[in-house]
Structures are given as C-alpha cells and as structure tokens.
Amino acid sequence: MKRFKRLLTVAMVSMILVVQVNNYIEKEKIKNEAYMKMYGYEYDERLKEWVK
C-alpha cells in the first residue's frame, strides 16, 4: 500500500510538471507571436514559418 501511494505521488508530481512546462511553452509562443507581429512578420500556414 505504501509503495502504491508513493507511485501515485510521483505520478501526480510529474503530471503537474508536464502541465507547467506546457503552459510555459504556450506563453512563450504567444509572446513570440506578439513580437513577430510587432516587427511586421506574418505567420504563413502553408510554409509553417514566419515571413515578412
């Protein structure tokens, strides 16, 4: 039972970490998009990259 609890704790912690990392990446992406738009770049969906 003790081992199961520890396993559960580890699983919870790793899930929280994954969520936080994903949030951080999303925030960075949004920030980068704002910068790029500010400098007059457009995101081209076909090319999947930023073009002026």
Which pLDDT tens digits describe the chain residue by residue (52 residues)?
888 999 999 999 999 999 999 999 899 988 888 888 888 888 887 887 777 7
Q: Where are the beta strands (DSSP E) in 1-52?
A: 42-44, 49-51
Rounded to an integer, what distance in angstroms lies between the CA atom of residue 2 and that of residue 12? 15
Q: What pLDDT does 9 receive?
A: 94
Phi then psi dihedrals of residue 43, to 5 deg: -85, 120
Q: pTM surpassing 0.75?
A: no
